[in-house]
Amino acid sequence: MLRLLQYYKPYKNLLILALASNLLMSLFMVVSIPVLQPFLQILFSAGDGSAPGITLRAPGAQDSGFQAIENRVNAFFSQLIQDHGREEALLIVCGFLVLTFFGKNLFRYLSLYFLAPVRNGIVRDLRNKLVGKMLALPLAYFSEERKGDLMSRISADVQEIEWSIVGVVESVAREPIVILGSLAFMIVVSPQLLIFVFGLMLFSGLIIGGVGRSLRKQSGEAQSRLGLIGSLVEETLGGLRIIKGFNAEQWQMQRFGTENQRYAHTLTRLYRRKDLASPLSEFLGIGAVAVLLWFGAKQVFAGEISAATFITFLYAFYNIIEPAKQLSGASYSIRKGMGALERVEAVLDAPLGIHDAEQATEVLAFQDTVVFKNVSFRYQNSDRPALANIDLTIPHGKIVALVGASGAGKSTIADLLPRFYDVQEGQILLDGVDIRQLRLRSLRAQMGIVSQEAILFNDTVRNNIAFGLESATDEAIMAAAKAANAHDFIVEMPEGYHTNIGDRGSKLSGGQRQRLTIARALLKNPPILILDEATSALDSESEKLVQAALDRLLQNRTALVIAHRLSTVQYADEIIVLDAGRIVERGTHEGLLQKNGVYRKLVELQAL
């Protein structure tokens, strides 16, 4: 909760204005309570300005402090009636009453006016913080989390915080002032009645509080189930081709239906408990009013207070009931929203793991070597190391290829170099400096990545090529596209370089998507290239075009190539053969064939 309060700091001026408006609104609302008493006195008074039958006093009773004030007020309005007559005096009091309610509603609107940008701004800031944190978190975090659940935290959980917490700030800021003002009037009128009211409110509060204790836990459970539903939807949309191809629609529907039913059941229990608040508080309020009428009427009959004063007291009590209901509803909402806030804070509080060291330095330009020095690494919750004692040197301008069976550790080595993960033992040195001592942005600026799966965004061709390079010129983008053999198909598109390519480049073929990723790497022109074999999933014609583009990309560049088709790495300066996270062979293509070892067996298997 303290974290949420920090989001109000940028809006302190608006909050001060909103608080001032609430104070003035509450002041007008509280003033409207005693204004009602003169209205009643005039309404019930006799033509001569007296009020017979209104104040019933016991013989010889002593005036209290309030009764003395009341007598003065009565004398003032009696004089007003004598000077102006009952109708004109009543008109004056009614005008003042209208003025107080006008002021109350004017400042109520102003408080909402000033709070609107605060409410929306906090939700915007919270979403920005969440997305910023997700961009900063290491890849290891996302391997343990569902994408759909994270999306639910950004959308549904933040929306729940807006509705349940931020949205009730107005009530929390306003209602206590109204309640305190009303109580102040009531304690002056009759301390005995006020003690009675306190007893009733305490009894009601204990009952309502008991009902709402489990809301926070149930809300967190509901939001978690909603996140799971989001994950299933994301999986369904991403795997529609496979689902339909395997006639698994019914099976997937059953999975979704089961989780959807569990969510609906949890939400039903949550709403039933939440919806109990209003009728329960209303019933308790009516019961309290009935008891109060009985007790107050006894005081009127005994002459301890006047009938007009008692009616005004009842109006003051009514002004407590509604704000109390609002605070009760706010309490329920806050309890419900705390579950969503905890899920959001779980992301915001997640340790970054990979970040800049305190004395991190910049990389000016890669000039010498990349060295893996006795590197070992194990993924979280894995029972065996992904890499063990890897020693590898990549000289400037040389191409080093990684080959081996699936799970041998090729992608892990490629992920360690740009610090998507950090080594757990050993070092990775860039020009003799441990990469953990280099600034992340500076380190990654030295590298370009072309993955096996073409990662593109729902944007234009131009923006996908210039991704991360906002200052790139149209001429440079076009030159990169030509070098990647992509210019010809781009200019044939409806809007050329300004054509939107759809979600993940769905409007393009596999070869076209891959050539755009190569154009993106060419535009960045990095000194170090990490290449996850980009031709393994393409047809022969597309493979030739992409391979030609890759040859241009690799010229005069230091490259770490993950090879799936061994024919594409025959000309690498060194081939590293991995097995179960260890280097088992290394050398050139010809040299490894002559060894008649693991590499030769891999080549022969692919030749079959």
- Cβ-contact 50, 43 below 8 angstroms: no
Please determine, for residue 15, whether its predicted confidence score (pLDDT) is greater than 60.
yes
- Cβ-contact 313, 199 below 8 angstroms: no
Which region, left, alpha or beta, applies to residue 303 given φ > 0 means left and ψ of -120 to 50 means alpha?
left
- Cβ-contact 358, 439 below 8 angstroms: no
Average pLDDT over residues 480-500: 88
How does residue 374 score in pLDDT terms, banded at 50, 70 and 90?
Answer: very high
Torsion of CA 168, 174, 180, 181, to 10 degrees: -150
The residue to which tokens 């978190």 are assigned: 137
Of 4-8, 379-383, 492-496, 601-605, the one with minimum mean pLDDT is 4-8
How does residue 373 score in pLDDT terms, banded at 50, 70 and 90?
Answer: very high
Instruction: Single out the residue of 298, 289, 433, 295 nearest to residue 371, CA to CA.
Output: 433
pLDDT score recorded for residue 519? 86
Of the spans 135-139, 493-497, 570-574, which averages the highest pLDDT?
A: 493-497
Average pLDDT over residues 423-435: 90
pLDDT, tens digit, 9 for 90 and up, residues 359-368: 888 877 788 8
Q: For the chain, what's the residue count?
A: 608
Q: What sign does the CA torsion over 55, 58, 62, 64 have? A: negative
Mean pLDDT (the chain) is 78
Instruction: Single out the residue of 256, 231, 255, 262 nearest to residue 151, CA to CA.
Output: 231
Q: How far is 154 from 163, CA to CA, in rounded Å?
A: 14
Give the three-class secondary structure for 444. Answer: helix
Both tokens of 563, joined, read: 């090879």
Q: How far is 512 from 354, CA to CA, in rounded Å?
A: 34
Helix or strand holding residue 172 (H, E): helix 169-189
Both tokens of 442, joined, read: 């500076």
Residue 581 phi, psi (nearest 5):
80, 10
Query: DSSP code of 505?
Result: G
Helix or strand holding residue 97 (H, E): helix 86-136
Of the spans 19-33, 142-156, 320-334, 410-424, which averages the highest pLDDT?
A: 410-424
pLDDT, tens digit, 9 for 90 and up, residues 150-194: 887 888 788 878 777 666 666 776 777 777 777 777 777 777 777
pLDDT score recorded for residue 4? 64
Q: How far is 115 from 147, CA to CA, in rounded Å?
A: 33
Please determine, for residue 287, whether its predicted confidence score (pLDDT) is greater than 50.
yes
Is 301 or 438 the better-scoring residue by pLDDT?
A: 438
Burial classification of residue 372, based on how many CB atoms lie within 10 Å of its CB (0-12 exposed, 13-18 middle, 19 or more buried): buried
How does residue 53 score in pLDDT terms, banded at 50, 70 and 90?
Answer: very low
C-alpha distances (whole Å) from 497 to each of 188, 237, 461, 464, 487 are 77, 28, 5, 10, 9
Residue 547 phi, psi (nearest 5):
-65, -40
Orientation angle between helical segments 474-483 and 540-554, nearest 10 degrees: 120
Quote the percentage of the chain above a pLDDT of 90. 6
Give the three-class secondary structure for 8. Answer: coil
Please determine, for residue 369, whether its predicted confidence score (pLDDT) is greater than 70.
yes
pLDDT score recorded for residue 21? 87
- Cβ-contact 429, 592 below 8 angstroms: no
User: Can you give the pTM of this predicted structure?
Assistant: 0.69
Average pLDDT over residues 90-111: 83
pLDDT score recorded for residue 106? 92
Average pLDDT over residues 71-81: 65
**What is the DSSP code string of 374-433?**
EEEE--TT-SS-SEEEEEEEEETT-EEEEEESTTSSHHHHHHHTTTSS--SEEEEEETTE
C-alpha distances (whole Å) from 374 to each of 393, 394, 419, 432, 461 are 11, 14, 16, 14, 42
- Cβ-contact 410, 578 below 8 angstroms: yes
Neighbours of 539 (CB within 10 A): 11
Quote the percentage of the chain above a pLDDT of 70. 79
pLDDT score recorded for residue 51? 42
pLDDT, tens digit, 9 for 90 and up, residues 213-267: 555 566 667 767 777 777 777 777 766 666 776 677 787 788 888 888 888 888 8
Q: How far is 63 from 51, CA to CA, in rounded Å?
A: 17
The residue to which tokens 């060194």 are assigned: 574
Neighbours of 385 (CB within 10 A): 18
Please determine, for residue 55, whether its predicted confidence score (pLDDT) is greater than 50.
no
pLDDT score recorded for residue 60? 41
Q: How far is 82 from 154, CA to CA, in rounded Å?
A: 68
Orientation angle between helical segments 86-136 and 307-348, nearest 10 degrees: 10
Average pLDDT over residues 308-321: 74
C-alpha distances (whole Å) from 198 to each of 34, 134, 203, 250, 389 are 20, 49, 9, 59, 73
Both tokens of 234, joined, read: 């994301």
Of the spans 17-31, 311-325, 577-591, which averages the highest pLDDT?
A: 577-591
Please determine, for residue 104, whether its predicted confidence score (pLDDT) is greater than 60.
yes
Which amino acid does the sequence have at 88?
E
Q: Give all domains of the chain, ordered by start, each with its CATH number.
A: 2-52+66-348 (1.20.1560.10), 369-607 (3.40.50.300)
Orientation angle between helical segments 474-483 and 510-524, nearest 10 degrees: 130
